[in-house]
Amino acid sequence: MKTLWFIRHGETDWNREGRLQGQRDIPLNDLGRAQAAEAGKRLMAARPDSGRLPWHVSPLSRTMETAVLARTSIGLEPLGFLTDERLKELTFGRWEGQTWHDLKKRERDLARARKADKWNFLPPGGESYALLARRIEPWLAEMPDEAVIVSHGGVARVLLTIMGGVTMAEAPFQYIRQGEILRLEMGSHAWI
């Protein structure tokens, strides 16, 4: 049985502004850096030997900085992790950098289509959760029985569907907390 200790990256200014980041490389802000350090401490409290686990991280700067700060806060070698392109956030295509508020006004038909089937909706030039799942499934098959993952909200939603017992209809609407830890096992999940 696999156990993943999933950390979503800390806050960025675009998170605060409600902008779609996708695969844009937006750095953490001050709150995000504090959240990252706190995530390391929370992980150590929940899994005291977590330093011996492999860490797999999205190569975007916000996730790598989160991993460095989390590891540093618990006395681990800051760069002792592996990056994997497959852990990148889903891309929103030409919607990246825009807010949902603005998109709902400008692209009403597409916003309605997304709301009707958020799992399969394909943003213009972007990626659906269904496509992201196809990217994540082979990665997950390669994972050891237990690992720490630092990645993005979309990846967490896909993992909730693959591992955590959440349906495809429910997963895109799950709130994924920044800088907190989601423990995923086959058929269950819990925030710690």
From first to last of the 192 residues of the chain, give the pLDDT tens digit.
Answer: 899 999 999 999 999 999 999 999 999 999 999 999 999 999 999 999 998 999 999 999 999 999 999 999 999 999 999 999 999 999 999 999 999 999 999 999 999 999 999 999 999 999 999 999 999 999 999 999 999 999 999 999 999 999 999 999 999 999 999 988 999 999 999 999
pLDDT for the residue numbered 73: 97
Do 9 and 178 meet the contact criterion of CB atoms below 8 Å apart? yes
Residue 160, both tokens: 């909730």
pLDDT for the residue numbered 107: 94
Return the CATH number of 3-191, one of 3.40.1410.10, 3.40.50.1240, 3.30.1130.10, 3.10.129.10: 3.40.50.1240
CA 84, distance to chain mean position in Å, is 13
Active site residue 9: yes
Indicate which residue of 11, 56, 65, 89 is catalytic. 89
CA distance 65 to 191: 21
CA 1, distance to chain mean position in Å, is 21
Instruction: Determine how β-strand 55-57 pairs with β-strand 188-191.
Output: unpaired
Where do the domains of the chain lie? 3-191
Strand ranges, E, within the chain: 3-8, 55-57, 82-83, 146-151, 181-185, 188-191
pLDDT for the residue numbered 173: 95
Q: How far apart are the first and last CA of the chain?
A: 19
pLDDT for the residue numbered 179: 86
